[in-house]
Amino acid sequence: MWARARALNDSLRNPEDPRAIRRALVGDVWWGVAALVWLVTGLWRVIGGTEKASSYYLASNAFAIKMGLFLMIVGLEIWPSTTLMRWRRRKADPDPRDVGRIEIISYVQVALVIAMVLAAASMARGIGMRGGTTAAVSDSASGTMSPLDSASSVRGSAAPRDSAALANVDVPETPEPSGTEAITAEDVSLLTRQITMPLDGVDPTTLRSNFDERRGGGSRQHQALDIMAPRGTPIRSATAGRVLKLFTSANGGLMVYTADSSERWVLMYAHLDRYAPGLTDSSRLQRGEVIGYVGSTGNASPNAPHLHFAIARSADVKRWSRGRPIDPLPVLVTARSATR
Ligand SMILES: [Zn+2]
């Protein structure tokens, strides 16, 4: 688009140069190709649900802004594209006044495209989400909202400190089984022998399991352990091993996926306020080493900072988002009683 605008400007300054208009038409073709690729991949991501649930997009203000900008760009393109088409087919000769207009429109479109990219980037980081209403929006979008769910939504938004607030929004990307993982007693005892509570001063026997709870308004199982803690509480690696992936998602916010030292288990820590300085995708980990700090990024309520801690048996830790989840709480309780 930038090239199209520049070439049109050249043709205004040098009307005798026929190549300038040709360059503008070439720029226009590339813009058309780029727009098509953009549109197809964009629709695929929303409808195909390849990365995030469709409901996530529908609940995002940044997405609404992005689509608004997109419609403005398309709207502005209608007249220039039909005019350029007539020039291309020699149905009309370029009129200097139209050349100038299309140049200006192209520059405006460039600015809108830049704004759209910024909106897309903030969307990917989960900025501009309509916090408390996310669950309700996703429920109505998927048509699964039961009377029970809507009642708990109301309770959750009215009393965000209540654990009902967690129950409505907290569904980070828990590893999903690929179908090839089998959990043996040996696997579990291996994990139990090496694991420790990731937050200091938390006695697992005082916690209640929320592994089987329905979250996301009942649409998904939680399959993790939520541990409430003040924002900024250090999160320690529950096992020795290594970082598999520092990941950011709409639901989980700042996340760390790690492997235990046997590489049989993937451990996932979500809603982090920030990572420990220097932590990378390839960091080796000692048990108890600080990896980050408790927060409420992603779809955690800002009033209820907590650690979302998941453990899954992995068939291949390179596929860090795959695995068969187990309830971390009984493992933590057994590990604690064994060290006493
Ligand atoms: Zn959770």
pLDDT tens across 13-57, in order?
887 787 888 888 899 999 999 989 988 887 887 676 555 555 556
List of E strands, the chain = 214-215, 220-221, 225-228, 234-236, 241-249, 253-260, 265-275, 284-285, 290-294, 306-313, 324-326
Out of 32-46, 136-150, 177-191, pick the least confident.
Answer: 136-150
Residue 227's DSSP bridge partners are 307
Give the tens place of pLDDT for each residue, 286-331: 999 999 999 999 988 888 899 999 999 999 999 888 899 999 999 9
Residues 320 and 318: their CA atoms lie apart, in Å, by: 5
The values of phi and psi at residue 104, to 5°, are -65, -45
Burial of 259 (0-12, 13-18, 19+ CB in 10 A): buried
Question: Measured in angstroms, how far is the CA atom of residue 9 from the centroid of ligand 1?
Answer: 56
- Is the predicted pLDDT of residue 167 greater than 60, yes or no? no
Yes or no: say if 308 and 300 are a contact pair by the CB < 8 Å rule: yes
CA 311 / ligand 1 centre spacing (Å): 12
Q: If pLDDT is split at 50, 70 and 90, which confidence band does 159 have? A: very low
Cα of 28 vs centre of ligand 1, distance in Å, is 49
CA 255 to chain centre: 11
Q: Which of 339, 309, 7 is nearest to 174 (CA)?
A: 309
Residue 265 CB partners (closer than 8 Å, separation 6+): 187, 191, 239, 259, 311, 312, 313, 314, 323
User: What's the gap in Å between 5 CA and the centre of ligand 1?
Assistant: 50
Task: Give residue 261 CA to ligand 1 midpoint distance, Å.
Answer: 24
CA of 308 to the centre of ligand 1 (A): 4
- At residue 134, the pLDDT reads 34
Span from the CA of 190 to the centroid of ligand 1 (angstroms): 24
Question: How far is it, in rounded angstroms, from Cα 30 to Cα 28?
Answer: 5
- On average, the pLDDT of the chain sits at 81
Residue 171 alpha carbon to ligand 1 centre in Å? 6
Q: What percent of the chain has pLDDT over 70?
A: 79
Q: What pLDDT does residue 262 have?
A: 94
Q: Which residues line ion ligand 1, judged by CB < 5 Å?
A: 170, 224, 226, 308
Confidence label for 279 from pLDDT (cuts 50, 70 and 90): very high
Contact (Cβ atoms closer than 8 angstroms) between residue 307 and residue 269: yes
In this structure, what token pair is assigned to residue 183?
């959990």
Q: Which two tokens stand for residue 243?
A: 């970082």
Selected residue with higher pLDDT from 215 and 186: 186
Q: Is the pLDDT of residue 194 over 70?
A: yes
